[in-house]
């Protein structure tokens, strides 16, 4: 079991979701977050005061998958989120120790799907 | 019956207009609350809204109890005294010295709204760091010992600046210079916000600020055109020049932003509109549309320089630019009135510099200097008094937590549900 965390551009969310559904990945948690990587933020100016390198709005996805779904999920996110410009985001794949479905109490790989 | 007598004594059109204008000016204070509220951090917006709203309540009471009497009862040059305490003798008959065609109480309630918004303007200077209790006491003392006397000087029967011939149609000196200077003083003595050295906090809700600016523009028609105290040509002139100046100043600031900061900003544009409204306020009943355009175009230049260059240079934290816009804009408006006033617009006024009367300019400068000096000294004294007795500034930890939670036990925006 793996936990996939992806940071993507907000305007790419719809395309990423579309690709995930195509890959039959239907379970997803979405957060609105702030941050920036190599792409520096845009300067903001308020009555002449400049604020540089601002944190930008990003979307963070969390998807728990069984091992055979890792590649399809990563590929789907890539397909949906990649534009080739800086700021497209990152995908992190983390080992996942356990998973419990609250409704039934099922544990392990059956609980993920 | 008394009723017929009262009815014949006033003009129904004038009365209707002044009452509506009083309501328009009332709306400016909540408008100002949103203008300021959008500019602060999300943890402090309720503090701003509460300060504005409580002023609306507290000064309404102060005004009918003794504020109106101090400002407008016929008296000495300094203030009106207590002759009209509790509105004694302020009835439904017109009082010809101020307004011959409307009931005296209509004039009184119209003026009440000015007395309310003026101390509310100062809030911008000490936003995000003043104790609510200290704010309340400071505001009541300031209204009583600064606003009421200066209103008397300029508008009251017997007021010394009125006798000198100073022109202030709708409150450039009484409202804007007065509040602007008080703002500068409080910003300097209360000190900068804790975050000031580290980062600029961006406005948490600019749409609120734009909504507030729009309400201010709308209410300002009551402020300026209502100051004609009648439904007449002078009111129309004031209405037209008010709109023109606001428009010119909004455009002017937008282009200054575009040139010097790269992009035209919405905050700059609405700040310009407010500056234009401030600057035309003393002149609205004395100048024509051409002068209004010049007044508007230039006020944004002065205010832009003030907030973008002078403020950072001197390092005072006039957080929402109450001095930078109302003080500077008000001073320019008072001077511009001395430059552009013409008796063609208002035979009861005076000619200004460009109409061959340079003396008017000196009178205007004297009024500016006297108002600024008095407001500076007495505001400082009141601040020090309140600070000595109960302390003005919130504790550092309270400032970090925000005034909404620490002063009012509320928050504006919930995270859940």
**Residues of A in Cβ contact (< 8 Å) with B261:** 45, 48, 50
Subunit contact A46:B265, Cβ cutoff 8 A: yes
pLDDT of the residue at B201: 78
Contact B71, B154 (CB under 8 A): no
Q: Domains of chain B (ranges plus CATH)? A: 2-408 (1.10.3430.10)
Residue A80 CA to residue A64 CA, distance in Å, equals: 18
Which residues in chain B have their CB less than 8 angstroms from residue A51's CB? 199-200, 202
**Closest B-chain CA to A51:** B200
Q: How confident is the model at residue B8, as a pLDDT?
A: 55
Round to whole Å and give the CA distance between B94 and B158: 18
- Ramachandran quadrant class, A44 (left: phi over 0; alpha: psi -120 to 50; beta: rest): beta
Per-residue pLDDT of chain B (417 residues; tens, 9 = 90+): 444 454 457 899 999 999 999 999 999 999 999 999 999 999 999 999 999 999 999 999 999 999 999 999 998 888 999 999 999 999 999 999 999 999 999 999 999 999 999 999 999 999 999 999 999 999 999 999 999 999 999 999 999 999 999 999 999 999 999 999 999 999 999 999 988 876 677 899 999 999 999 999 999 999 999 999 999 999 999 999 999 999 999 999 999 999 999 999 999 999 999 999 999 999 999 999 999 999 999 999 999 999 999 998 998 999 999 999 999 999 999 999 999 999 999 999 999 999 999 999 999 999 999 999 999 999 999 999 999 999 999 999 999 999 999 999 999 998 777
Residues of A in Cβ contact (< 8 Å) with B312: 48-49
Residues 6+ apart with CB under 8 A from B320: B36, B39, B40, B123, B124, B125, B127
| Region at B409 (left for phi over 0; alpha for psi -120 to 50; beta for the rest) | left
> Chain A to chain B, count of Cβ pairs less than 8 Å apart?
33
Mutation for A interface: B199, B261, B306, B311, most A CBs within 10 A: B261
The reply to whether B14 touches chain A by the CB within 8 Å rule is no
The verdict on a CB contact (< 8 Å) between B200 and A45 is no
Q: Determine the pLDDT at residue A56.
A: 85
Distance, in Å, from the CA atom of B101 to the CA atom of B10, rounded to the nearest integer, reads: 4
CA angle A30, B414, B49 (to 5 degrees): 135
Distances (CA, A) of B251 to B208, B256, B306, B329: 20, 9, 18, 16
Contact criterion met (CB below 8 Å) for B193 and B213: no
pLDDT of B2 reads: 46
Q: Are B349 and B286 in contact (CB under 8 A)?
A: yes
Only one residue has tokens 């309501």, namely B23
Q: Cβ–Cβ of A48/B308 closer than 8 Å?
A: yes
CB contact under 8 A, B267 and A44: no
| Cross-chain residue pair A45–B265, CB shorter than 8 Å | yes
Contacts of A46 in chain B (CB under 8 A): 200, 202-203, 265, 267
**CB distance A48–B260 less than 8 Å?**
yes
**What is d(CA A84, CA A86) in angstroms, rounded to the nearest whole number?**
7
Contact B127, B319 (CB under 8 A): yes
Radius of gyration of chain B (CA): 21
Question: Considering only CB atoms, which chain B residues are within 8 Å of A50?
Answer: 200, 261
Domains belonging to chain A, first-starting first, are 2-112 (3.30.70.120)
Question: Which pLDDT score, from 0 to 100, does residue B198 have?
Answer: 67
User: Residue A46 CB: number of other CB atoms within 10 A?
Assistant: 19
Give me the residues paired with residue B393 across strands. Answer: B130
Percent of chain A predicted with pLDDT > 70:
99
Chain B residue with minimum CA distance to A49: B308
**Which of B199, B263, B321 faces A47 most closely, judged by CB atoms?**
B321
Q: Is the pLDDT of residue A8 over 70?
A: yes
**B248 vs B273: CA distance, rounded Å:** 8
Shortest Cα distance from A62 to chain B (angstroms)?
20
A48 and B321 within 8 Å at the Cβ level: the answer is no
Rg for chain A, CA atoms, rounded:
17
| B399 inside 8 A of chain A by CB | no
Cβ distance B143 to B111 under 8 Å? Answer: no
3-state helix, strand, coil in chain A (%, to 5): 30, 35, 35
CB within 8 Å: B312 and A49? yes
DSSP tag of A33:
E
Q: What pLDDT score does B4 carry?
A: 46
Q: Which residue of A has its CA nearest to B319?
A: A47
User: Of A44, A47, A51, which has the smallest distance from its Cβ to B307's Cβ?
Assistant: A47
B263 at the A interface (CB within 8 A)?
A: yes
CB < 8 Å to A43, chain B: 262
């Amino acid at each position: 079991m793996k936990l996939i965390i992806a940071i993507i551009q907000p305007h790419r969310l719809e395309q990423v979701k579309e690709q995930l559904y195509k890959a039959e990945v239907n379970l997803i948690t979405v957060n609105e977050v702030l941050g920036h990587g190599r792409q520096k933020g845009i300067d903001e100016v308020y009555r002449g005061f400049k604020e540089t390198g601002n944190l930008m709005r990003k979307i963070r996805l969390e998807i728990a998958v069984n091992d055979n779904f890792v590649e399809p999920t990563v590929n789907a996110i890539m397909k949906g989120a990649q534009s080739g410009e800086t700021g497209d985001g990152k995908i992190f794949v983390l080992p996942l120790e356990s998973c419990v479905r609250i409704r039934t109490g099922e544990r392990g790989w059956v609980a993920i799907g | 019956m008394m009723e017929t007598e009262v009815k014949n004594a006033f003009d129904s059109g004038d009365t209707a207009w002044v009452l509506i204008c009083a309501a328009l000016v009332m709306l400016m204070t909540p408008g100002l609350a949103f203008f300021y509220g959008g500019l602060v951090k999300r943890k402090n917006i309720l503090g701003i809204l509460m300060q504005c709203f409580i002023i609306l309540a507290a000064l309404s009471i102060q005004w009918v109890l003794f504020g109106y009497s101090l400002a407008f009862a016929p008296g000495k040059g300094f203030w009106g005294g207590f002759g009209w305490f509790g509105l004694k003798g302020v009835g439904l008959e017109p009082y010809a010295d101020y307004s011959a065609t409307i009931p005296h109480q209509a004039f009184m309630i119209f003026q009440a709204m000015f007395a309310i918004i003026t101390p509310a303007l100062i809030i911008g200077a000490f936003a995000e760091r003043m104790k609510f209790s200290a704010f309340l006491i400071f505001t009541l003392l300031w209204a009583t010992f600064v606003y009421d006397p200066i209103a008397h000087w300029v508008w009251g029967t017997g007021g010394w600046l009125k006798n000198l011939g100073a022109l202030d149609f709708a409150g450039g000196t009484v409202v804007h210079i007065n509040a602007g200077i008080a703002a500068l003083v409080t910003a300097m003595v209360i000190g900068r916000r804790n975050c000031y050295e580290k980062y600029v906090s961006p406005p948490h809700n600019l749409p609120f600020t734009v909504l507030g600016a729009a309400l201010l523009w709308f209410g300002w028609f009551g402020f300026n055109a209502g100051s004609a105290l009648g439904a007449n040509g002078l009111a129309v002139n004031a209405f037209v020049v008010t709109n023109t100046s606001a428009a010119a100043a909004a455009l002017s600031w937008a282009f200054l932003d575009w040139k010097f900061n790269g992009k035209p900003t919405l905050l700059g544009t609405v700040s310009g509109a407010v500056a234009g409204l401030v600057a035309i306020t003393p002149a609205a009943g004395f100048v024509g549309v051409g002068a209004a355009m010049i007044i508007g175009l230039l006020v944004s230049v002065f205010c832009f320089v003030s907030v973008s260059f002078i403020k950072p240079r001197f390092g005072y934290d006039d957080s929402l630019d109450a001095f930078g816009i109302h003080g500077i804009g008000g001073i320019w408006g008072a001077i511009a009135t001395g430059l552009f006033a013409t008796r063609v617009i208002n035979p009861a006024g005076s000619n200004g510099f460009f109409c061959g009367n340079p003396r008017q300019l000196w009178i205007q400068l004297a009024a500016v200097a006297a108002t600024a000096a008095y407001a500076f000294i007495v505001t400082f004294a009141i601040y020090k008094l309140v600070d000595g007795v109960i302390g003005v500034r919130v504790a550092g930890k309270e400032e970090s937590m925000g005034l909404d939670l620490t002063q009012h036990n509320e928050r504006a925006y919930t995270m859940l549900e």
